[in-house]
Structure 1
Amino acid sequence: MTRAERLVLWIAILASFVAFLDGTVVNVALPAMQRELGGGLTTQQWIVDAYLVTLGALILVAGSLSDLFGRILILRIGLAGFGLASIAIAAAPDPLFLIVARGVQGIAGALLVPSSLALITSTFRGPAQARAIGIWTSATTAAMLVGPVLGGAFVDMLSWRFVFLINVLPIAVTLWLLAVLHRPDVRNEDATVDWAGAVLCTVGLGGTVFALIEQDRLGWADPVIWGSATLGVAALVGFLVRQATARSPLMPLDLFRVRNFWTGNVATAFIYGALGISGLVLTVYLQQGARWPATLAGLSALPATIIMILLSSRIGALSGRFGPRAFMTVGPLVMTLGMLLLLTVSDHLDYWLQVLPSIVVFGLGLSITVAPLTSAILGSIDPSRSGIASAVNNAVARIAGLLTVAMLGVIAGGAITLAGLHRTALVTAAMFAVGAVCSLIGIRNPPRAAAPESGSDGEQVRSDSSDATPS
């Protein structure tokens, strides 16, 4: 890589690392938050989902803002906002203040991931792009797994409040690297922001999530619940109608004419929906059910972190060489096995025999899956649309996790007990398996050499059938 390419990769990794790290450290801190601030499972769900609601709804707006104002500027704003929101969370006096601050943090997080990944896809091409995405994936996914380890140590040795200050240093380093890069920002002065679509998406997700979380407390017969559910679903339908008719939609529906894009996003929905609750439930159960300290609960995922670091970049390179289909099929099936191994966990928990095998198998499957999945989806779209394609894929992933967390009370049976852990393991195993089937049936490997053709919307699509990744 050239110096500029290395800087771009580091900036993308650190910016995404901040968002992913903060999205996972919260899991290990939830029991400590509950002890200090009060609240039950519903409050824990809101602490997680307040972040995901704004992140999932506004990540599409961030893609448009990135095109309009430039990726580097949006990255700077996102980093600064994320840091300020993190400080507010650390100082939260009650659950409501914390939940609102988490929502603000999600807004800033929405500015980070699409812009950072779009920097990679606009800088690298072909197999080099697949390898760069593999390196990005290993680092950012490792953040999702390292987060509980760091968070657990902070909770046990200091306070859960310090958990949200972990990202201060990487934010400062990333802002410095952006200054060092000296890269002119790319802006599209003709780009516009579909604010009406953003409002519909936010209301739709907010209403739906509110109903799913609060129905466990109020019941579906309560007018507040069915009213918010009706409003949420109607707003989401309105959002889709708006995207089909708007001049500059947040989520251009013509992207879904590309086979690898739409089938890859369906697989993403199932895979990331399962990821959204699998780690959360295990981490909370180890603390509340097995009475482990937060540090040990976080350390339980360390083997998967090591596997991700060792394998993701290699898998990304192999996917660029041989195509993503086999990896996207085998990887989720391996994760399915990893989840089913959690069914061996008993009241007399033995980490080495009951938890570690699941963690190792799961980490292997995740390493096989994530880089090829990202490469297949983004590589099927012309680089000029990489920003919006990245935003759509990230929105699908975050919204999938948002909805499964909102349904956690139903999935786990109302509490994260041993029975709740087993129920969650079965549900997530089934979701991973569906993701594998979607990939097997829908994903197509690119030809070894393909000339660009004009897509139906007049833009260049890198495929001879509108569904291939770069060869």
Structure 2
Amino acid sequence: MTLTTGSDAGSESDKLDRGVLRVAGVVVLGAIMSILDVTVVSVALPTFQREFDASYATVAWTMTAYTLALATVIPVTGWAADRFGTKRLYLTSLVLFVAGSVLCSMAWDIGPLIVFRALQGLGGGMLMPLGMTIMTRAAGPQRIGRVMAVLGVPMLLGPIAGPILGGWLIESVTWHWIFLINLPVGLIAFLAALRILPKDRPEPSESFDFVGMLLLSPGLALFLYGVSSIPDAGTVAAAKVLIPSLVGLVLVIAFVFHALGKEHPLIHLGLFKSRSLTIAVVTMTLFSVAFMGAMLLLPSYFLQVRGEGTLSTGLLLAPQGLGAMLTMPVAGRLTDKIGPGKLVLGGIVIIAVGMSVFTQVAADSSYVVLLGGLFVLGLGMGMTMMPIMSSAMASLTHHQVARGSTLMNIVQQTAGSIGTAVMSVILTNQVLDSQAATTYSAVTQGRVAAEQVPPEVLSQGQAALSNAFGTTYTVALVLVVLCIVPALFLPRRKIETTPEQDEAAVPIVMH
């Protein structure tokens, strides 16, 4: 048995050694499970409507409850990881997530299902920031790019495999299995984590910022609830949007003032003293708003405009993941050697090229062209998201990593929710402006029988609906191009580590 540290490994070789790869396998398994669950459930909403005789607005709460639970628990993760240890907290998160999954499969009505989804979110919300913390500490700062490339795998597989897996399980078995499948996977992840993850190292415990939790957790949850209500309300001016959003925003601002005057706040705003982290946060915010919102609309185009089924839609989205799988490992290695700046700029340009294909989308667009555009989008994504994360995390000390990963996950979750709401509202308003598009959309959703609508109206509606998607993607393209501005300030050379970072590297036991 030998002992190595992240910094030792980094000085001997830039490759991830066997011990780090074993840890990565555990972390990725848990992250894939939680991220897959979001996309798997998204394709099951029509099934929930039929099974529980509920409206779309009601069943959509199965998604919203999960998101709000994430927002509630993520801010506490950094403190809890320092206080109880990352391994203990990771095992607890897995238990919560799997328990929530089993309860979801046993739900007898939509109300209990929503409650059980929130329980799932409490566990799932901690898995990704904890995984990022565990991996960053294990590999050391010199190999942060490769670590982020590994953690990017679940982010890629979720949007690709989720719709495919969900569609297959619902069509082949029953909806219960989109939750029950987490039981064997979660059990394997738990046993692997118990055996492989390094033992927790005691940290000097900081007092818990209870006031900060009472401000930030409900503040984020209320803000995201308001933002998530925009598509359903159709306008930002609706009371169900404005009231929770404003109250949430006030609570978040109050937390900022509270944190500035406290020695050990829930989220250390002193992290923003790091120029790399600050620029990475700005870049990630704008990127998540533009890219995440636009990506959510891709399945809708194939489902609503082209009339594809759930399973075939999932398969059609696969080229995006294939493209990202080609560039992400290479980008991870290059980030460690030349810094993230050049890669992120190149990735944004490539994403803009791929997205421009969808600004011209029509009712009869060639699938070859569309799948080519998705592949190019994937190439760009693989060069962008994880290098941004690497830039944020590389300058942090061992003790700051848990809080830094928590901060980046809050930023990504919040910005992604805003982007989803913005793109959904733009698309909805475009559809409502066209009577033909509204009629065609009602037909595709099963609210109106196709036989009741004249063929020429269906044809006009299909064209109008595709134009609505094209306009929405044009807005997303503009936002993606704007990401170039903060990306210009990302480091364009290897980020040098400090002696404090190197001395604090976590030992990994090699079996």
TM-score, normalised by the number of residues in structure 1: 0.87
Distance (whole Å) between structure 2 residues aligned to residue 54 and residue 435 of structure 1: 29
Match of 2:376 in 1: 361
Which amino acid in 1 is paired with 2:134? L
Structure 2 residue 490 is matched with structure 1 residue 443: yes
Contact 1:205-1:232 within 8 A present in 2 as well: yes
Match of 1:115 in 2: 130
Greater Rg by CA: 2
Match of 2:329 in 1: 313
Q: Deviations over 1:247-293 (max 9, x none)?
A: 32122111111111011011111222334333322213322342211
Which amino acid in 1 is paired with 2:485? V
Structure 2 residue 482 is matched with structure 1 residue 434: yes
Distance (whole Å) between structure 1 residues aligned to residue 290 and residue 105 of structure 2: 28
Which amino acid in 1 is paired with 2:76? V
TM-score, normalised by the number of residues in structure 2: 0.81
Instruction: Quote how far apart the aligned CAs of 1:349 are.
Output: 4.9
Match of 1:468 in 2: none
Contact 1:203-1:232 within 8 A present in 2 as well: yes
1:421 aligns with one of 443, 463, 469: 469
Distance (whole Å) between structure 2 residues aligned to residue 252 and residue 424 of structure 1: 37
TM-aligned CA distance change 1:419 to 1:199, over 3 Å = farther
The aligned length equals 453
Distance (whole Å) between structure 2 residues aligned to residue 185 and residue 351 of structure 1: 50
Distance (whole Å) between structure 1 residues aligned to residue 58 and residue 349 of structure 2: 33
Task: Identify the range of structure 1 (210-219 vs 137-146) with the bigger mean alpha-carbon deviation.
Answer: 210-219
2:301 aligns with one of 285, 291, 312: 285
Match of 2:353 in 1: 337
Distance (whole Å) between structure 2 residues aligned to residue 220 and residue 445 of structure 1: 39
Match of 1:206 in 2: 221
TM-aligned CA distance change 1:12 to 1:267, over 3 Å = same
Contact 1:45-1:406 within 8 A present in 2 as well: no
Contact 1:57-1:202 within 8 A present in 2 as well: yes
Which amino acid in 2 is paired with 1:78? S
Task: Identify the range of structure 1 (422-431 vs 291-300) with the bigger mean alpha-carbon deviation.
Answer: 422-431
Contact 1:50-1:102 within 8 A present in 2 as well: yes
Which amino acid in 2 is paired with 1:336? A
Contact 1:207-1:232 within 8 A present in 2 as well: yes
Match of 2:445 in 1: none
**RMSD over aligned Cα, in angstroms?**
2.7
Contact 1:149-1:302 within 8 A present in 2 as well: no
Contact 2:222-2:248 within 8 A present in 1 as well: yes
Contact 2:280-2:490 within 8 A present in 1 as well: yes
Instruction: Quote how far apart the aligned CAs of 1:341 are.
Output: 1.1
- What fraction of aligned residue pairs are identical, expressed as a percent? 24
Contact 1:220-1:226 within 8 A present in 2 as well: yes
Contact 1:290-1:349 within 8 A present in 2 as well: no
Match of 1:465 in 2: none
1:262 aligns with one of 260, 266, 278: 278
Q: Deviations over 1:148-169 (max 9, x none)?
A: 2222222332334322333333
Secondary structure, in 3 states, of the residue corresponding to 1:164? helix
Match of 2:405 in 1: 390
TM-aligned CA distance change 1:161 to 1:419, over 3 Å = farther
Distance (whole Å) between structure 1 residues aligned to residue 349 and residue 471 of structure 2: 18
Q: Deviations over 1:172-227 (max 9, x none)?
A: 22111122226321232423332322232233233333333445438666655443
Distance (whole Å) between structure 2 residues aligned to residue 92 and residue 426 of structure 1: 41
Distance (whole Å) between structure 2 residues aligned to residue 333 and residue 39 of structure 1: 43
Which amino acid in 2 is paired with 1:424? T
Instruction: Quote how far apart the aligned CAs of 1:327 are.
Output: 0.9
Aligned counterparts, 1:10-409, within 5 A = 10-37=25-52, 42-43=57-58, 46-181=61-196, 183-214=198-229, 216-217=232-233, 223-353=239-369, 355-409=370-424
Task: Identify the range of structure 1 (193-202 vs 64-73) with the bigger mean alpha-carbon deviation.
Answer: 193-202
Contact 1:59-1:110 within 8 A present in 2 as well: yes
TM-aligned CA distance change 1:213 to 1:306, over 3 Å = closer
Instruction: Quote how far apart the aligned CAs of 1:303 are.
Output: 1.4
TM-aligned CA distance change 1:225 to 1:134, over 3 Å = closer
Contact 1:251-1:388 within 8 A present in 2 as well: yes
Which amino acid in 1 is paired with 2:158? A
TM-aligned CA distance change 1:279 to 1:219, over 3 Å = closer
Task: Identify the range of structure 1 (252-261 vs 382-391) with the bigger mean alpha-carbon deviation.
Answer: 382-391
Instruction: Quote how far apart the aligned CAs of 1:362 are.
Output: 0.7
Gaps of 5+ in 2: 1-15, 432-440, 442-464, 503-511
Which amino acid in 2 is paired with 1:70? G
1:452 aligns with one of 498, 505, 508: 498
TM-aligned CA distance change 1:408 to 1:38, over 3 Å = farther
Task: Identify the range of structure 1 (183-192 vs 217-226) with the bigger mean alpha-carbon deviation.
Answer: 217-226
Secondary structure, in 3 states, of the residue corresponding to 2:396? coil
Instruction: Quote how far apart the aligned CAs of 1:320 are.
Output: 0.9
Match of 1:6 in 2: 21
Distance (whole Å) between structure 2 residues aligned to residue 32 and residue 424 of structure 1: 27
